[in-house]
Structure 1
């Protein structure tokens, strides 16, 4: 016993007395000694989020303390604008960056610590109220130039087909009355906000050459600093709530609050909004969290007095006698006369739960409850049985002593034994006594200004799920052992042991997903850091359209589905290598070569479950074969993700391998997307394909076509980058770039006297660009900038524009025509367009698609008739026709014979650079 006590005293001393990091092994000791005499430059952002102090502490000071004091490293701190810091970091002038968001692109040159805090991306404003993503349509959103957050927003709105206008600024907080884009902790003080997406956490970033420092920094974060950071942001958030709350109070309310003694508060526990946890020996759930947050964020204090009473009936009577000050209650006519009620804080579902045996036709309810008053509307008084608590009511229901009961919780009552019917949703309020009007008003303001009820609801759900999970793990026995140990040791030993056990429990809790019991992202990140010589398969799994499933069947069914799938994964793969990464995605490492056997086994589980349940469930699976240690686990799972997302394009496909060809294709696609999202389009330029008069072969105009030759990828075909730009809603950048280059070229040729007023140079405007609010203004600005008349310009729009809002389309076309610009319908195939619509549109030219001309072959009179009918249709509307794709003399003769105006195609000329086109015009002039 003496040895054990001595051992724990040593643990206590080492736990509480050390202010320096203790290396965990010889390698860590060698690493720290290696950096003893090197000065590391650390970049820290001067943004308010990192610099502002709360109780003398800031995020920058915590990071500095971690590196300088705890790890005993020699550091030189540079505090500056983040953009400038990042440039220096990329140029190797800064060794460690205190705040760097994890992204695939940055993994090429950086390693990342554990996230310092979770991030979620928001759109926020002090003035503009937002309900959902659709409210952003055609709005200006202020952001920081080249921010990584811009890519996430563009990706989201492109999936929803929402047009936005991102405006870059050096200080977006100057526009807080407009709409700004930023992570949660930047915009907490703003009144209105909508969450867009959960982001990779903000980490400490290091150049890859300092990779050996990373595990040490992560250990330090786990031991001490993650908790400090969490407490710092919690305190910051509380201060914001406090300020808003106290600013909302009247003078009388402030005086009342100053004199207010602790309020007696009682819970009406029903396992929905309040649940007594024997594991934690306290009340958990929605209402307890509300009480906790009000106390943390204000001077209001509560005495929880449930222990003074045996049951709910005694609590209610004590409230009537004013021994209890506040009670969460539902309203009825009697209570409205007795009490004052605050704003609604929650609502609960009331269930009628009935035995399948109807021997005794009695219904059980809690005495003096809202259920009793409801029961009186449906049952005779003699058939209502009153109970003091829910446990006795459930007991009699299960033993068939009563036929049915009104209950808020279905727990322990399965639908195969009981008929469960949802009666109604009942609002819950805080009730106070009739003479406590000021208290009611203060509580209302507390509900509005101190609480985020939606977040509290989610947290309460997590707490209750975790409580149930602990029960299943039989932790009660462990607690008994701990209690026995505590009873035979000194007070000092108890403190040390408590800290160690509490730490382990929290670590274990952090490492497990509370719903499925699988390892979570924290464990996956740890697994990633220890991937030496691993060979096998990285597998990425996504539940397709889980959100739609939740919307259709409810979140309880969604949770059950996730549990079912996680059990399939446990039965198929090694649970130690199976991770739940987000709500609907899982990562798995398979350490053998039987990949297809395992995947087919999983798919078989899913098919059988679909057949039994009737649910439409589809998994998207991507996998990558790790053949050697040249590919890190992190990259392997990124490659698996690529294949998984690619498999989404084909619902008949369950799984897809990330082959070298697919990886190369997707990496090229990602690079193109990033170049477009970062607006790096300087290398895009126009080439011009001449347009000729069919009658005399003279050049009468040309069409500008986009080409892209990049430093990174070389030549990128328009067939490749145009669809990508349209998909991510960046096509307008290309359209506007080509428009400006074309107008600039026209100006040059006019000044050189190479063209006259009959010459038209055209460029394409996509449907997405045409639908932008700034299209007309942009064209006007460009014409003014280069001092050129619109009479030299022609824009080509596609038939698809006619399928959008016709009134708006007509309005914009008329405004463009007012600039003297000619308008051409491009790629005409008689598809969307009709003769009726063409008569309504203020257009000048119809450009026949190459596919129509391709049907013109010798000795095919039927195809000739089709083309002639189209010509007749357009000519009757007094419109000019351009035939594109002319490749043969036979086609040219046919077009001449049928009086077509203008031709374009390889028979005349392929698209050529501006200088070559200029030489053609020069030659024509000189002739």
Structure 2
């Protein structure tokens, strides 16, 4: 009866609005960024369309600034308001339509690093206490001395440093990420709260993606505007006449790989090429028919316009080299079960140059490709290899990662007679923001996981054929293979690749290094809600993302997935605060965790020499529950005498 009553009430509201001309007061935030039209549509237009076209309401549009509009929604003067992040007693929210970060921005002042804020004034809206607290925490955490000045309208101080939300910060070239701000929804006054399920369905089926794409397009539009402003008249005319560019990329390397199933190039290099193409609004064709040496010759012969390579190579004599696109880490992998000390590298690649820098020439063995190098390493031909462990390397190599040797810069390479193209590329690179780089790296990692998953499916298929053959050959062979397979599964969690509870319990019973006295417990916040709401596939994606974040800071042998969304870490106390701050920062910047409103709470404990391991993890667990009472992405240390300390 109660559900039927709600249905009839909703029907009567809609019917009375249509038949009797009752107006629905829709609040619209009146800012340049919310009114900015892309392909004839602004974000305000999209919100109006939801209420007018889909809900068939007779609207009265009431424009205003955020503070006044929010107060009018609370006291019932308006019935709904686009882009609201905080519920109140009279304000109900739809499901989130996008997530926002908090930034410091400036139209004129430099913001290349956090140090630019030292001894500066930062203007903030006086009534936004949550954002002010996040800013103060950020400054304290990074030991930055800055004066926060509270004002009624921070946008009047655009020439200075001012606190800004993501949507209104899109246009600013100079901005610095402070913190995750929270989800943004459509606010509905409580008398119309029965509209929320209908609006949520519209957002799920159509308008959620429309708004998300609009914001992404708006961000790119501002980047294109800023890029165009930097060009000289000569450069603008030259680029206008240049209909397209040709670039060479290898089709099966760490930086770029052609995916036959998706019929496109994936990897770090193709992602940056796509973004540069969008910023310049000029097509870039990827060609991969040549070898690297042939590509250099074709660059000279003007068959290619530019290439991507490492500045580590000595190209400066014959070519012009751009500013850095990004950096890739070069790792030394060590198969310490092998007695030889030979190091394998790819001939005439960055690994070759680093091999000559760190090893004697007599101990270097050359290979013609990354695939042959990795196979030789796993087959035991060489003990060490140097590889840019970044893109699509075999997942089996992970356990051999020993030391990062150096970060290698990636650069565009152009002919010496084409300085105008070099200048244009450098200006396009300067437009790329750190958030673009984070999204590209996350996209590369997602592609890598998908590719490895497809490899694993193929491996499983081949294994099944081998399994049947072995079964025919005899029961004994089958039993041996089964035992090996079981032993492998017992060691690692099948989803994340991390060590599991079985191996954790086994390691805890064995002798440990004296310096491994830190015990860490990590538990995800809001994971069950996300898993129930979006399904187990999204839950799996979140767990894989968290495992990746932990592996960026800790060694794989130190990390265990214990159950569900709980992780244990057992490590030394060396740089422990730096490591904890690092995983918190990486978590806050993760696009996947932001999208599904996931954070994590961390408790840790420094064990005494004579203390039991289980007791130590129990204390870390108590500290973790104390962290949950603070906020997301917090860590707490358990102290025996002083109690919990942040």
Structures share fold, TM-score greater than 0.5? yes
Q: Which residue of 2 aligns with 1:341?
A: 321
The whole-number CA distance in structure 1 between the counterparts of 2:402 and 2:414 is 33
Look up the SS of the partner of 1:233 in the other structure: helix
The whole-number CA distance in structure 1 between the counterparts of 2:200 and 2:640 is 43
1:384 to 1:325, Cα distance in 2 relative to 1, 3 A = farther
Maintained 8 Å contact 2:327/2:407: yes
Aligned match of 2:416 in 434, 452, 461?
Answer: 434
> RCO (CA 8 Å, sep 6+): is it higher in 1 or 2?
2
Aligned match of 2:196 in 208, 214, 224?
Answer: 214
Maintained 8 Å contact 1:312/1:389: no
The whole-number CA distance in structure 2 between the counterparts of 1:397 and 1:557 is 24
The whole-number CA distance in structure 2 between the counterparts of 1:646 and 1:265 is 45
Look up the SS of the partner of 2:69 in the other structure: helix
The whole-number CA distance in structure 2 between the counterparts of 1:136 and 1:361 is 49
1:521 to 1:219, Cα distance in 2 relative to 1, 3 A = farther
Aligned match of 1:34 in 8, 12, 18?
Answer: 12
1:433 to 1:107, Cα distance in 2 relative to 1, 3 A = same
1:360 to 1:456, Cα distance in 2 relative to 1, 3 A = same
1:247 to 1:157, Cα distance in 2 relative to 1, 3 A = closer
1:647 to 1:431, Cα distance in 2 relative to 1, 3 A = closer
Q: Which residue of 1 aligns with 2:99?
A: 118
| 2:296 corresponds to 1:296 | no
Aligned match of 1:129 in 110, 126, 136?
Answer: 110
Q: Which residue of 2 aligns with 1:628?
A: none
1:178-193 pair list within 5 angstroms: 178-193=160-175
Q: Cα distance, 1:343 vs. partner? A: 0.7
Q: Cα distance, 1:314 vs. partner? A: 5.3
1:678-689 pair list within 5 angstroms: none
The whole-number CA distance in structure 2 between the counterparts of 1:520 and 1:320 is 55
Q: Cα distance, 1:418 vs. partner? A: 4.8
Aligned match of 1:524 in 511, 523, 529?
Answer: 529
In the alignment of these two chains, the number of paired residues is: 523
The whole-number CA distance in structure 1 between the counterparts of 2:496 and 2:276 is 26
The whole-number CA distance in structure 2 between the counterparts of 1:514 and 1:239 is 37
Look up the SS of the partner of 2:211 in the other structure: helix
The whole-number CA distance in structure 1 between the counterparts of 2:35 and 2:146 is 35
The whole-number CA distance in structure 1 between the counterparts of 2:41 and 2:147 is 38
1:343 to 1:140, Cα distance in 2 relative to 1, 3 A = closer
The whole-number CA distance in structure 2 between the counterparts of 1:408 and 1:67 is 51
| 2:51 corresponds to 1:67 | yes
Aligned match of 1:371 in 351, 359, 369?
Answer: 351
Aligned match of 1:247 in 229, 254, 257?
Answer: 229
1:647 to 1:296, Cα distance in 2 relative to 1, 3 A = closer
The whole-number CA distance in structure 1 between the counterparts of 2:442 and 2:53 is 36
Where do 5+ consecutive residues of structure 2 fail to align? 18-22, 459-494, 499-522, 535-545, 569-594, 603-611
The whole-number CA distance in structure 2 between the counterparts of 1:205 and 1:437 is 52
Look up the SS of the partner of 2:305 in the other structure: coil
Look up the SS of the partner of 2:566 in the other structure: helix
| 2:29 corresponds to 1:48 | no
The whole-number CA distance in structure 2 between the counterparts of 1:649 and 1:371 is 41
1:271 to 1:332, Cα distance in 2 relative to 1, 3 A = closer
The normalised TM-score by structure 1 is 0.49
Look up the SS of the partner of 2:246 in the other structure: strand
Q: Which residue of 1 aligns with 2:82?
A: 98
Aligned match of 2:308 in 313, 321, 328?
Answer: 328
1:83 to 1:643, Cα distance in 2 relative to 1, 3 A = closer
The whole-number CA distance in structure 1 between the counterparts of 2:340 and 2:172 is 58
The whole-number CA distance in structure 1 between the counterparts of 2:559 and 2:224 is 38
Maintained 8 Å contact 1:266/1:304: yes
1:283-322 pair list within 5 angstroms: 283-306=265-288, 308-309=289-290, 312=292, 315=295, 318-319=298-299, 322=302
The whole-number CA distance in structure 2 between the counterparts of 1:519 and 1:645 is 9
Aligned match of 2:184 in 181, 202, 211?
Answer: 202
Q: Which residue of 1 aligns with 2:214?
A: 232
Q: Cα distance, 1:305 vs. partner? A: 0.9
Look up the SS of the partner of 1:189 in the other structure: coil
| 2:267 corresponds to 1:262 | no
The whole-number CA distance in structure 1 between the counterparts of 2:112 and 2:621 is 30
1:622 to 1:219, Cα distance in 2 relative to 1, 3 A = farther
Q: Which residue of 2 aligns with 1:455?
A: 435
Look up the SS of the partner of 2:68 in the other structure: helix
Q: Cα distance, 1:560 vs. partner? A: 8.9
The whole-number CA distance in structure 1 between the counterparts of 2:455 and 2:10 is 39
The whole-number CA distance in structure 2 between the counterparts of 1:645 and 1:334 is 44
Q: Cα distance, 1:112 vs. partner? A: 0.9
Q: Cα distance, 1:150 vs. partner? A: 4.8
| 2:397 corresponds to 1:392 | no
Q: Cα distance, 1:183 vs. partner? A: 0.4
Q: Cα distance, 1:58 vs. partner? A: 1.0
CA RMSD of aligned residues (A): 4.5
Aligned match of 2:566 in 561, 565, 569?
Answer: 569
Maintained 8 Å contact 1:157/1:163: no
1:237 to 1:565, Cα distance in 2 relative to 1, 3 A = farther
Q: Which residue of 2 aligns with 1:109?
A: 90
1:660-671 pair list within 5 angstroms: none
